[in-house]
Amino acid sequence: MFKQYLRRYRKSINPPYSGKDVVSILGTLIILVSIPLTAFLVGQVRQWGSKAAGPVDYMDMDVAVVYYGINSADLAKLQNGLKIAREFYWRNSGLKLNLNLIYIPINQIVYPESNSVGDSTIRKAITDAGYQISDFGGIFHISSDVDGTWSYGVHGNFDVGFSHSPCNTSWSPCWVPTSVVYPGNDLGVNYGIVWIFTHEFEHALDAMYAKSGYPEMFHGDQPEVYAVRGGEQFSYQAEGLRRFNNWLGLINYTNKWGTKWGAVEQFLDNNGNGIPDNDSSLPIDDARLGVGWDKEKYMAGIYQGSLTGDLYGLPAYTNKFSPVIDGNIEAGWTFITSKEMYDELGISSEIYAARDDSNIYLAGTASQAKRLHLWLDKDGDGWWNGKNNLEISYDISTDNVTIAHASDFSDEVREYRCSLPNAHMKDDGLCDGMWDDESGYPYGRIIAPADIVKARKLSGGVYSFEIKIPTTALTETQEIGYRLVFEGGGRATVFEDYQLIYISGSPPDREAPTVSVSSPSNGATVSGTAVTVLATASDNVGVTKVEFYVDTSTKIGEDTTSPYSTPWNTTTVSNGSHSLLTKAYDAANNVGLSPLVSVTVDNPTGKIGDINGDGKVDIFDLSILLTRWGSNDATADLNKNGVVDIFDLSILLSHWGG
């Protein structure tokens, strides 16, 4: 057998060939080529999915970064920090906002201005560099001769935007005034400017989009008013950016120079993964990311992406379990993670969680005796909502709880805060929230250090600890937000810094109800003041209510019990085509929408019985009705039952002389 194959092989590589041999060789080559090609194409289809390939719109804005009194070494660090901030906007806007940063030095203070923040000084620097004010959508000023940094949206005499100051003398350098940290430790980066630009320039964007007709952009200084489900600082900024959907709308406003603050541009996305193919002018593209990425993976975190699409690999839920708090992590705990997203300490740790009806439990191991700083959003609605937002600091080395208090952002407390000195009123007419250990807090402690039950053990150079945190009643499906940081001579963040990571107490209900309009039918003609609209609805757990809408937005009723129905007065809408929509809700607030049902409203437009339209019901109308007796004439069919009969005669006579 081997000699047979050997002869065939020799024959295939040594001419002459027969026609049969050529066909065989070509077939073999086709198979050999098709196998890797097919594998490649399958891989690409899996990567690209069903996303459309082609050009993608985004908002492009030029921003002048004017600076004064900064040496070249410090400027390079600032530029590296602003590069990070620029990508933060790009990532968390869903690749919809690109900020082109153009650096312009201030070489001269214009008299009579005394420092570099003056309007005339900034204008001169820009024009000296060969630009006009109207060339930019924003201006960001950094200097060492005043106590802050400033951001502007350019319109008129810098009248849209926000200024930031003062400088705290404990911060250095003084022209980057912030204590907010970014998860990085590159000595060539000024991380302070990352937060300053991210936060302060958003104020300018907020004002610009409001001018453009989109006032719904969040306000970075009023998180208790625009209270999204997020954490503090970078977490809140990222969540606000991700929730804003009108990035291209900036072109709706024309400034005094007849120009726009930005322009709608396009990037090429030929593989349909939502990321630019190869465009070095943008913060990131496929060429720099490499293979395997798509937009969702790139946006997996607020600072970084993940090729798996999941930064943490967290469990779906934590067990209902009441452990013994003795420092021994027994069976029954839910394992959360064994990695840190950012680590300056070189620490190794494992984190576990559990819960019962009235307690939250946390346990872990740590290779170093550091301080565990813990934030809990017990109600799962974001740090800036409600009163069950807990901050706890546990010192592993001493087995001591040094901080345990709660922030209260309830309306009652915010209203009360307005009556105290130094209150700051917000856009909604209420003031700041309060900590429960703050002087003047009216409702007593929500939690205190003495309430925390804890224990820790040291074995083989590794600490194990368990913590019991009493709280108000927990529902089985309730999500809790966790943020954990090891501190002491540096920081190690278990999750992305400032991010609250939410884990449910049991598998959450994510399935929306199904609902449909069962009457009237699609294409039906309706009239009158009491048309019954019927709906059918079902859910994997249970339907709590069904709402009824005309033309998708006008609510006409709701029903909480099956069969679901509501009366509809069709005379409240114009004659003609209209749509009916129903929304079904379940206890988890999932919402299901019905397909639209189109109906035609046909109500009498004149006096009832006035068939000839002369403004009165008389013998002439009666004559017309009688001549059309038994027909389906729409004019004489006053009750719209499809035939002119005794009922129509009765209607006409009841309106006689009207």
SS (H, E, C) 478-513: CEEEEEEEEECCCEEECCCCCCCEEEECCCCCCCCC
**Mean pLDDT, the chain, integer:** 88
**Angle at the Cα of 116 (from 111 to 120), degrees rounded to 5?**
50
Residue 156, classified by CB atoms within 10 Å of its CB into exposed (0-12), middle (13-18) or buried (19+), is: exposed
State CA 113 to chain mean position distance. Answer: 43
Q: Give the torsion through C-alpha atoms of 291, 295, 298, 301, to 10 deg.
A: -160
Reply yes or no on whether the pLDDT at 6 is more than 50. Answer: no
Q: Any idea which of 62-76, 213-227, 246-260 has the lowest mean pLDDT?
A: 213-227
Angle, to 10 degrees, between the axis of helix 19-48 and the axis of helix 2-13?
A: 90
Tally of CA atoms within 13 A in the half-sphere of 563 that contains its CB: 10
Residue type, 63: V
CA distance 298 to 373: 28
Q: With CA atoms as reference, report the closest residue to 218 among 192, 182, 242.
A: 242
Say how many CA atoms lie within 13 Å of 431 toward its Cβ.
13
Residue 319 — pLDDT band, cuts 50, 70, 90?
confident
C-beta of residue 259 within 8 angstroms of C-beta of residue 251: no
Q: Which position has the token pair 């196998």? A: 35
Of residues 438 and 48, more confidently modeled = 438
How does pLDDT run across 92-103, given as a tens digit for each residue? 999 999 999 999
**Which residues touch 112 (CB under 8 Å, ≥6 apart)?**
none
Of 74, 82, 112, which Cα lies nearest the Cα of 99? 82
Strands 389-395 and 400-408, how do they pair? antiparallel
- The reply to whether omega before 563 is within 30° of 0 (cis) is yes
Quote the pLDDT of residue 164. Answer: 67
Asked whether the beta carbons of 549 and 555 are under 8 A apart, the reply is yes
E strand spans, 606-646:
none
Q: Taking residues 193-197, what's their average pLDDT?
A: 93
489: left (phi over 0), alpha (psi -120 to 50) or beta: left
Residue 649 has pLDDT above 80, yes or no: yes
Looking at per-residue confidence, does 15 or 569 come out higher? 569
Which tokens sit at 265?
Answer: 């541009």
484, pLDDT greater than 60 = yes
Per-residue confidence (pLDDT) for residue 587, from 0 to 100? 80
Residues 185/489, Cβ–Cβ less than 8 Å: no
Q: How far apart are CA 378 and CA 483, in angstroms?
A: 11
| Percent of the residues in the chain that have a pLDDT greater than 70, as a whole number | 88
**Distance between CA 43 and CA 46 in Å, rounded?**
5
Distance CA 134, CA 61 (A): 12
* Structure tokens belonging to residue 213: 């007709």
Domain ranges of the chain: 2-48, 55-252, 334-504, 514-601, 606-658
Cis-peptide, bond into residue 421, ω within 30° of zero: no
Q: What is the pLDDT of residue 655?
A: 84
User: pLDDT at position 119, please?
Assistant: 87
HSE value, Cβ hemisphere, 13 Å, CA-based, for 505: 20
Q: What does the alpha-carbon distance between residue 342 and residue 499 come to, in Å, rounded to a whole number?
A: 12
pLDDT of residue 155: 62
Say which CATH topology domain 606-658 has.
Type 1 dockerin domain (1.10.1330)
Retrieve residue 126's tokens: 């820009």
Contact 267, 278 (CB under 8 A): no
Q: Which residues on adjacent β-strands are paired with residue 388?
A: none
Predicted local distance difference test score (pLDDT) of residue 15: 40
Would you state the CATH architecture of domain 55-252?
3-Layer(aba) Sandwich (3.40)
Going by their DSSP bridges, the two strands 138-143 and 54-68 should be labelled as parallel
Least confident of 24-38, 321-335, 405-419, 467-481: 24-38
Given pLDDT bands bounded at 50, 70 and 90, which one contains residue 71?
very high
CA dihedral 610, 615, 620, 625 (to 10 degrees): -10
- Sign, CA torsion 292/294/300/302: positive
Name the DSSP letter for residue 571. G
pLDDT in tens, 507-564: 667 889 999 999 999 999 999 888 999 999 999 888 999 999 999 999 999 999 999 9
Residue 152 has a pLDDT of: 77
The predicted structure's pLDDT at residue 9: 35
Q: What is the pLDDT of residue 435?
A: 97
Side-chain half-sphere exposure of 608, counting CA atoms within 13 A: 13
Cα→Cα distances 399→327, 474, 557, Å: 10, 27, 58
CATH assignment of 334-504? 2.60.40
- DSSP code for 124: H
**Collapsing DSSP states into helix, strand and coil, what is residue 41?**
helix
In whole angstroms, what is the distance from residue 192 CA to residue 72 CA?
17
In SS3 terms, 221-277 reads as CCCCCCCCCCCCCHHHHHHHHHHCCCHHHHHHCCCCCCCCCCEEEEEEECCCCCCCC
- Higher-pLDDT residue of 637 and 373 is 373
Amino acid, single-letter form, for residue 447 = I
Split at pLDDT 50, 70, 90, the class of 359 is very high
What mean pLDDT comes out for the span 302-318? 93
The pLDDT of residue 237 is above 90 = yes
CATH class of 514-601: mainly beta
CA angle in degrees (0–180, nearest 5) for 395-397-401: 25
Q: Are strands 434-435 and 400-408 parallel, antiparallel or unpaired?
A: antiparallel
**Phi-psi region at 640: left, alpha or beta (left = phi > 0; alpha = psi -120 to 50):** left
Are 384 and 495 in contact by the 8 Å Cβ rule? The answer is no
Examine the pLDDT at 23 and tell me if it is beyond 80.
no
Q: Mind listing the pLDDT tens digit for each residue in 570-598? A: 988 999 999 999 999 998 789 999 999 99
At 609, list the tokens: 């019985």
Predicted confidence at residue 172, as pLDDT, reads 54
CB 124 within 8 A of CB 130: no
pLDDT of amino acid 163: 66
Beta bridge partners of 534: 519, 565
Q: Mean of the pLDDT values across residues 102-115?
A: 94
pLDDT at residue 426 in the model: 92
For the cut 70, the answer to whether the pLDDT of residue 168 exceeds it is no
The more confidently predicted of residues 16 and 75 is 75
User: Is 584 in a helix, a strand, or coil?
Assistant: strand
Instruction: Give the pairing type, strands 453-459 and 462-470.
Output: antiparallel
Cβ count near 64 (within 10 Å): 24
pLDDT at 17 over 50: no
User: pLDDT class for 169, splitting at 50, 70, 90?
Assistant: low
pLDDT level of residue 170 (50, 70, 90 thresholds): low
Predicted local confidence at residue 643, as pLDDT: 93
Same topology, domains 334-504 and 514-601? Answer is yes
Instruction: Give the ranges where 49-108 is alpha helix by DSSP (H).
Output: 72-92
